[in-house]
Chain A
Amino acid sequence: MAKRSIEPLLWLLFSAGGVVAALLVPILALLLGVAFPLGWLAAPSYEHLLGVLRHPLTRVVLFVFCMLSLFHGAHRFRYTLYDGLQIKHLNEVINVLCYGGAIAGSVWAAYVLFRLT
């Protein structure tokens, strides 16, 4: 019997993450990373953000978004290292660092999002 590979699951996470990242990261990065810090737009008040984040739906959506985006990034970065730097022989170290990072990031996201009351 052929050994079951985890690879299809990783590709699934990669493409799901690619979609959510493409949909949400550009506008979030524009607002939170550039427009608010530069003062192009007034940053939302603390109460407003807390209100948005308190809604359970926001938190669930943000968690799924963070988790999928991290796995998307990890998977793509793994192949960037394979192809770009031609260091496929280090694949075990790379896999642990990439997916380990994505798992650690997801756990942190869950902690940050669901601790909030």
Chain B
Amino acid sequence: MNEHPAYTPYHPRWLRSRPSTYWWLKRRAYLAFITRELSSIFIAWFIVYLLLLIRAVSQSDASYRQFLAWSRHPLVLLLNVVTLFFVVFHAVTWFNLAPKAMVVRMGGKRVPASLISASNYLAWAGATALVLWLLLGG
């Protein structure tokens, strides 16, 4: 490119072909990418599901039972099984990515990626244990 291009009111046209709408089906890595991105929908759905549960509990024992019956409906159950797959995929890809996103230095040295991943998985185990204790224990 010229360092001082002449002014032109027209945007230059590049020769670029538009990729197919289904470009993400072409490779495994692309498919993994789009799977990870689509986890966003399932996270949003789960928050709605959780809030519906909390709303039912805030109303009455009867509406809680009604919610439990609804959660056993095959379609809701199927959606939640698919949701579980996507959210676990999100969690695993997120924690594996953490060392690349976070550069932690201690004593002038970069903390190894494995240690950052391990601490993330440890936090995951802790959060999981806390939820199990809150919902099942006591």
A residues neighboring B (CB under 8 Å): 15, 18-19, 21-34, 36-38, 41, 43-44, 46, 48-50, 52-53, 58, 62, 66, 69-70, 72-77, 79-80, 83-86, 101, 105, 108-109, 112-113, 115-116
Q: Contact: B47 with A32, CB < 8 Å? A: no
* Min distance, Cβ B61 to any Cβ of chain A, angstroms: 4
B73 to chain A, nearest CB (A): 8
Docked-complex contact B57 and A77, CB < 8 angstroms: no
Interface size class of B (residues with CB under 8 A): 35 or more
B131 and A34 within 8 A (CB): no
Whether B47 contacts A105 by the Cβ 8 Å rule is yes
A24-B131, A33-B46, A33-B83 are contacts. A72–B40 as well, Cβ < 8 Å?
A: yes
B43's contact among A49, A69, A79, by CB below 8 Å, is which? Answer: A69
Contacts of B41 in A (CB 8 A): 73, 77
Given A22-B91, A86-B18, does the pair A29, B84 have CB atoms closer than 8 Å?
yes
Cα of A29 to Cα of B87 in the assembled complex, Å = 8
Q: Is the CB of A43 within 8 A of B124?
A: no
- Total A-B pairs, Cβ < 8 A: 150
- Is chain B's binding surface mostly helix, strand, loop or mixed? helix
Residues of chain B contacted by A32 (CB below 8 angstroms): 49-50, 53, 71
Task: Decide if B111 is an interface residue (CB 8 Å cutoff).
Answer: no
Chain B residues within 8 Å of A, Cβ to Cβ: 18-19, 21, 24, 34, 37-41, 43-44, 46-51, 53-55, 57-58, 61, 64-65, 68, 71-72, 76-77, 80-81, 83-84, 87-88, 90-91, 94-95, 101, 123-124, 127-128, 131-132, 134-136, 138
In the complex, A15 Cα to B98 Cα: how many Å? 10
Q: How far apart are the CA atoms of A22 and B134 in the complex, in Å?
A: 18
Q: How far is the CB of A21 from chain B (nearest CB, A)?
A: 5
Known: A34-B81, A37-B80. A22 touches B90 (CB 8 A): yes
> Is A77 a contact of B54 with CB atoms below 8 Å?
no
A26 CB to closest chain B CB (Å) equals 5
* Nearest CB on B from A23, distance (A): 4
Given A29-B46, A32-B50, A33-B71, A22-B80 contact (CB < 8 Å)? no
